[in-house]
Amino acid sequence: MAEMYPSIPQCAALATALKVLLMPAYHSTDFEVHRNWLAITNSLPLKEWYYENTSEWTLDYPPFFAYFEWTLSQMASFIDPAMLQVKNLGYDSNATVYFQRSTVIVTELVLAYALHLFIKSTPPSNKKQAHAAALSILLSPGLLIIDHIHFQYNGFLYGILILSIVLARKRSGLLASGLIFAGLLCLKHIYLYLAPAYFVFLLRAYCLGPRSVFDIKIFNCIKLGVGIGVIAGLAFGPFVYLGQMPQVLSRLFPFSRGLCHAYWAPNVWAMYSFTDRVLIYVAPYLKLPVNPGAIQSVTRGLVGDTAFAVLPDITPRMTFTLTLAAQIPALLKLFLQPDWQTFVSTLTLCGYASFLFGWHVHEKAILLVIIPFSLLALKDRRYLGAFRPLAVAGHVSLFPLLFTAMEFPIKVVYTILWLIVMLLAFDRLTPASEKPRVFLLDRFSLLYIAVAIPLIAYCSLVHQVVFGARYEFLPLMFISSYSALGVVGSWVGFLVVFYT
């Protein structure tokens, strides 16, 4: 098998260079969040970790992530001890910035390694496609924007997720895959959204025999159960022992937050809010009752309770039910057909369901859909057709995360570059489908992609020139409604591919 170029290490090297250059770029409050966690885990005893609240950015990730921060903080003390003081709010000396940025870059090696394994585990006939998919994830503008500018550790975490997905490819790797996923859940609990797929897959493929549902593999069940138990024990054991579980859980699941996050993730609720917003003007003609108190809060879309003026309010229970309802058909299919492809498809659909219907979804959670989907996008042209609008919408929806003038060209140019190179490469490499395609979808996606350019231009330049600081919610709303359309469209497309 000939080598494929550019290889993963070559791309990683060039991307790393760019990421190092980005070190002094804008970083969001998440930078301070993580610095604060370094300080908390380093300077306080374990029993105070989940109680400490000097900073407003309290520790709200599961314990493995706290241990991870503790490990980093051991190195940080050699770089600049001042960053490890809890009272040093907003501290960002050059050394601190360089240190934290380099931890993101270095831990992302996990992702590169996982992608390398992914290519290795692919059968030779599909290696080229796998290689392209792997590069698209490694060079993802989503990761660049969120991790290397905005500041988070997604590259590391998604690396672990992909590692787990790759291991699930072989029967012998199922146990390790499940355990690694359990570990991932103890690092960041957002992956709970994907847990149903893991649960069903491991249950069917690992705990039950291949021929019959009643052929229960007791020994496998014990191995998996004990393994997960040990991991959960390592993570939460100390806090159970200290009797702090209610406090930990209240930190991990803050249901007091609103339906929509500060910047309206492009999901069903963004479309719902947009409709509500439009209805405010239309309601008087339709003789609908308007809740006057809600008008302000919808326009601002800030964290907190979102009230709707015309449409009925949404409760967390409703979102939860909808999410589950959207997941169940896929899970049933996975149960009946527990192969790796279906598993990854189901993971993608779980990601879709939780992103589209979840409570207080961050726009960053779109990676939960894009990354598993990337592994499938080159399977055949029908998958690619559904992937295209997602690739555009998902990344455009991340643009409002960065609002500084200096970073504007970086996010736009990098995303356009990635879209051109990757979509061209995907287009060349994806084989034709055995089943007929729905051509309407192709037209839709082309039109959709074309609209992105004037939209970005309007939101970043024209709006400011025309309106100045007025109606500042308008660009955000346009972007999220536009992206929501793309995400929902690609979801529908994917559903068609998955069930037919």
Partner 1 sequence: MPSTPSSHKPRKKRRADISSNSSNGTVAIDVQSKQEKPAFPLVAFFWPARTATSQWVILSCIFMVVGLFRWCTAIWPYSGYRKPPMHGDFEAQRHWLEITVGLPMTHWYFHDLQWWGLDYPPLTAYHSWILGKVGSLINPDWFALYLSRALDDADLKVFMRATVMVSEYLVYVPAVVICGRHMARLHNINPWELSIALTAILMQPATMLIDHGHFQYNTVMLGFVLASMSNMLAGRPLWSCVCFVAALGFKQMALFYAPAVAAYLAGSCLFPRIRLFRLICIAATTLASFALLYLPLLLGTLYDNRRNVPLPTDIQLPPLLSALPFDLAESAWYYPYVLQLAQSIHRIFPFSRGLFEDKVANIWCAIHSSGVHKLHNYSSSLLSRAALGLTLLSILPPCTIIFFKPKKVLTPLALAVTAWGFFLCSYQVHEKNVLLPLLPMTMLLASEGGMKPSTRAWVGYANILACWTLFPLLVRDGLRIPYFVLSLVFAYLLGLPPVSFELYTASATPDGAGLHWFAKILHLGTYLACIAWHVVEAFFLPPTNKPDLFVVANVCVGAAGFGVCYLWCLWRLLSESGILQDLGLVKKEKLDDDRKRQ
Task: Name the site residues for partner 1 (rule: CB under 8 A).
Answer: 2-7, 10, 13-14, 17-18, 20-25, 98, 127-128, 131-132, 135, 405-406, 409-410, 413-414, 416-417, 420-421, 424-425, 428-432
Residue 31 CB, shortest distance to partner 1, in Å, is 15
| Residue type (1 letter), 462 | V
Among residues 1 and 440, whose Cβ is nearest to partner 1? 1
Q: Residue 473 Cβ, how far from partner 1 at the closest point, in Å? A: 23
Which CB sits closer to partner 1, 5 or 255? 5
Residue 361's φ and ψ, nearest 5 degrees, are -85, 135
3-state helix, strand, coil in the chain (%, to 5): 75, 0, 25
* Closer residue to partner 1 in complex, CB, 3/215: 3
What are 202's two structure tokens? Answer: 């491991």
Nearest by Cα to 353 from 391, 313, 324, 396 = 324
Q: Which is nearer to partner 1, 217 or 463 (CB)?
A: 463
Q: How far is the CB of 35 from partner 1 (least distance, A)?
A: 20
Q: How far is the CB of 417 from partner 1 (least distance, A)?
A: 4
The CB-of-71 to partner 1 minimum distance in angstroms stands at: 25
Taking the least distance from each CB to partner 1, the nearer of 131 and 277 is: 131
Residue 143: which residues within 8 A CB-CB, separation 6 or more?
108, 111, 137, 154, 155, 158, 367
Q: By C-beta, is 271 or 377 nearer to partner 1? A: 377
Angle at 169 between CA 163 and CA 172, to 5 degrees: 95
Whats the size of the chain, residue-wise? 500
Beta carbon of residue 414, minimum distance to partner 1 (angstroms, whole number): 6
Residue-wise DSSP of 376-442 = HHTSSHHHHHHHHHHHHHHHHTTGGG---TTTHHHHHHHHHHHHHHHHHHHHHHPPPPSSPP-HHHH
CB of 488 to partner 1, least distance (A): 29
Question: Which CB, 101 or 277, lies closer to partner 1?
Answer: 101
DSSP state of 312: P
Task: Provide the 10 A C-beta neighbour count for residue 417.
Answer: 12
SS3 assignment, position 260: strand
Nearer to partner 1, 218 or 405 (CB): 405
CA–CA dist 301, 219 (Å, integer): 51
Minimum gap (Å) between residue 316 Cβ and partner 1: 41
| Nearest to partner 1 of 20, 230 (CB atom) | 20
Q: Least distance (Å) from partner 1 to the CB of residue 442? A: 15
Let me know: does 61 contact 50? Beta carbons within 8 Å.
no
Closest CA to 363 of 390, 414, 397, 396: 397
Q: Give the alpha-carbon dihedral of 48, 157, 230, 349, to 10 degrees.
A: 120
